Structure 1
């Protein structure tokens, strides 16, 4: 493949040297490109990353905000999530927004200066799943921040322009970074089929669970119960969505015992038990509790990411009660409606941001986020540098 042709737009970048003849053309820039990598041996490494000219169909983006996801922590600590394995060093991060600096050949819907949110998964667009519109299931997806595809915890990143979404003026970069976890929740809620006046339980009051509580409320579900082990997170959930009911998981009870206590919050009759449970932790004991919590004929929608094999799921209970145990893989076609939710005031997620770190202190941000004793909700890494090269 021939190297990308670098077009100088408004003197944003310098021309490449003649020795740069690889597929990507590196740019000599007046600003460095600090980045954070997870290494194959489970370490964090701050690296000065190269900056490349955008190829045809790409845009070069100055990343202004990136949220830390639980998967970033998981990749750092364990090196894998299911079949996704870090076999080498890789820049992490995928919840991001920024400013377009330069557009590659053929990009017409974006221009330098546009504020955008990054949809991090880039599907192949040729397989039967992509043809069917289920591009989130594409096996050849190139997902930012999952080895070997570079993520957004860096100052400058190229990304296919098709998967960059313009932000309205009233949506901040911080909110733009929250569109990715909101998209996860929107996919789960849409697939679960929440409806007006129907009860729902949200297992887990982490960032995904809290967004699920807010989105469930906006969807008209009622009543809404949110569960967690940590009283501080439940207190935040009550502040975030005052109408929700909180339940602190009792470590002395088994899954059935906790499920019985949760169902009691909905009343004593079977038909008022929660029709839908949104399981946002991925923890096996929580999934089991969710299975016993849903009413007969109900749905357990697993949104959280868990271990590869779970051995103790109550198979026959699910079977005899015809409870649907369902799953989602990321999202599809969610960015435009998610942007509309924030721009239109349907959801206000700004309170979720508990800590903000500059890009140069990204390692500190990861360490804080990894320790639950710090009480973080959503940690953002931001870059205040001017959007120029």
Structure 2
């Protein structure tokens, strides 16, 4: 009886492994639909852009990638007569990372403007050391944009990125390592190297995944080892897993599915912000990449997806929850800790104390994120 039981055990294990890997490759179109609905109905402006502040070209480009993942033209998302494609085709930026994202969007959206001009800008931004721009995050975005547009990336660009990898396998946002390694930059660099033709079994890629493994905990990816999962880290790590074709891997398939579930669990289900991904910093920032993530489309992939995901109509009332602004209090401020006077305006002192209390980890996340 030992033989049949052993065979049955092996068969059951294979079925279980197949089920796990199949689950890891299952897209979540309804989540993508709700995210796109929130972006269009509450965040699109009268000129077609997504978001009213920060970096609207980058945010709009990220949404255009999500539309391509849904098989939708960017001209389908519009505010009145002006569409997202209309905004992107006239968008101009001098920032390297932003142009990388704009180039990815234009490479995937036929009505979002020409790629040639942006590609020339990016190629001209490469320094003698092989780096595009002045930080690793922007460098990786530039390479992804160029490769999406079918542009060649010179060998010195790959050599530079590899030279910046740290001993734990991760990459730091900036060249000076001011903030230390983080999962967002690491996942982005892994995708950039893969798009530039670096094999998936290359030591740099393997090292990058070693670092990403170290930040996986509590069912998702954190920004650094020991930190709780967050939506941005989930999204970029998922993109890296897909770009390296590790979604069917026995170790990475379950991590991919867990990260998608973690992201889905943070999607708001009711109220005016239904569909957005909750965030202590910015719902817009965490939601623009969500459609591509839920539809399992890595950043370097271009063109429309074969299957089309319908765009949901806007609810009868779609108004984003406004961010409350504190009312300035003139006059002397009393410090709660001492009861003493903080002078004519103690707000900078109070702000500094609060800022320190948030911890260096939060500081690093807010300063590091190029997309912000």
The normalised TM-score by structure 1 is 0.22
Greater RCO structure (CA 8 Å; 6+ sep): 2
The normalised TM-score by structure 2 is 0.23
Q: Which has the higher strand share?
A: 1
